[in-house]
Amino acid sequence: MYMYSPNKKSFFLIVPTITPNYEEDALHENFTPDFSAFEQLLIRLDALQVSAILIVGTTGEFQKISLDYKKRLVDQAIETTQNTQNLKKIYVHISAKSSEEEKELANYVESKKKPCIKGIVLAPLYQEINEEKIHKRIEQIVQLDLNTPLYLYNNPSMHKEKTSNLKATPKIQAWIKEGKIKGIKDSTKDIIQFAQWLKLAKENKAFEVFIGSNSFISEALKSPLFKHSSGCVSGPANVNPNPALEFCKAVKENSMPLIEAKYRLMQKLVGPMREKTKKLNCDLIQIIKSQTMTHLSKDSLKRSTP
């Protein structure tokens, strides 16, 4: 039976924020973020008790956002969270088509020296799957020797060969033990691989493992090592974070019936997230921009849950 560890730090939700953009640019290469809508999204998430976000194209649009715009999104998030009550943790997705851009954005985040910045997140993108290229992509960030913690993003769907994923190779394990890699967002839905990351979290108390897929949570809960996970990353929480927040609370309270009930509620929001990213982005932006949704109370938002 699942038992959560009271010695672990809080099990919390990270919302991978969409990047609002002007609708006419949604299908074009020149992706233009709507910074006002982005600010309103963060303010609304703060009002709904969200404490952590993962920004800069985590729903796929990172490939179209220019480096300058990515920097501006970082600045906007920092500025906005200076005035929020709950939203105090920012994780920045630095993945890009070029390693040079990844390094520049990593250095830019580091230069901010803000306590709200909790980490940079790298999905080691590559065209040909091989261990050497994976290590090289990660090592170019590790060698920057930043104070900002580095997290990995394990998501095979981003790669050319969908069946491959980022494995806990001896070299990656060494970086974890040295404190060079602080954690991982695992979206593989591979219970064996997930258990290997959890084993590393058990052996390295500072290492954090986040469940990266709503639909995988039911399997993850069955793992005897689940107590070593640190939280979940839930895309549907862009629309309504309450089910995911209540699930995280149930995990911390170590109540299995409550955990299962809250998980079923979370699953009701998964459907809309299976839309293609471009359409999803446009749809959610319209929701965020709508005066009705922006000013919804927590109680009314719960009632509006599909």
pLDDT of residue 276: 39
When divided into structural domains, the chain yields a total of 1
Q: Give the tens place of pLDDT for each residue, 200-236.
A: 999 999 999 999 887 788 888 888 898 899 999 988 8
Question: Rounded CA gap, 232 and 213, in Å?
Answer: 8
In a domain, 109, yes or no: yes
Domain membership flag for residue 3: no
Residues 260-287 have pLDDT tens digits of 666 666 666 555 444 434 454 555 556 5
From residue 56, give the alpha-carbon distance in Å to each of 71, 170, 188: 9, 30, 21
* DSSP string covering 228-265: G--EEE-GGGGT--HHHHHHHHHHHHT-HHHHHHHHHH
Which pTM does this prediction carry?
0.85
Residue 147 lies in a domain: yes
Q: Which domain holds residue 118?
A: 12-298
What is the C-alpha to C-alpha distance for residues 52 and 70, in angstroms, rounded to an integer?
18
In a domain, residue 303? The reply is no
Residue 285, pLDDT score: 57
Whether 74 contacts 36, CB under 8 Å: no
Q: Tokens for 12?
A: 């919390």
CATH of the domain at 289: 3.20.20.70
Q: What pLDDT, on the 0 to 100 scale, is given for residue 197? A: 95
Q: Strand 12-16 vs strand 208-211: parallel, antiparallel, or unpaired?
A: unpaired
Q: What is the pLDDT of residue 306?
A: 33
* Cα 196 → chain centroid: 20
**The pLDDT of residue 163:** 46
Q: Within a domain: residue 4?
A: no
Predicted local distance difference test score (pLDDT) of residue 22: 67
**What pLDDT is stored for residue 298 in this prediction?**
40
Q: State the pLDDT at residue 299.
A: 40
DSSP state letter for 297: -
- Which residues of the chain are modeled with pLDDT < 70? 1-9, 22-30, 58-59, 125-129, 156-165, 256-258, 260-306
Asked, for residue 5, whether it belongs to a domain, the answer is no
CA distance 23 to 237: 21
* Residue 6 forms part of a structural domain: no
| Residue 258 within a domain | yes
Q: What is the pLDDT of residue 10?
A: 78
Q: Tell me, what's the pLDDT at 125?
A: 67
What pLDDT sits at residue 37?
Answer: 87
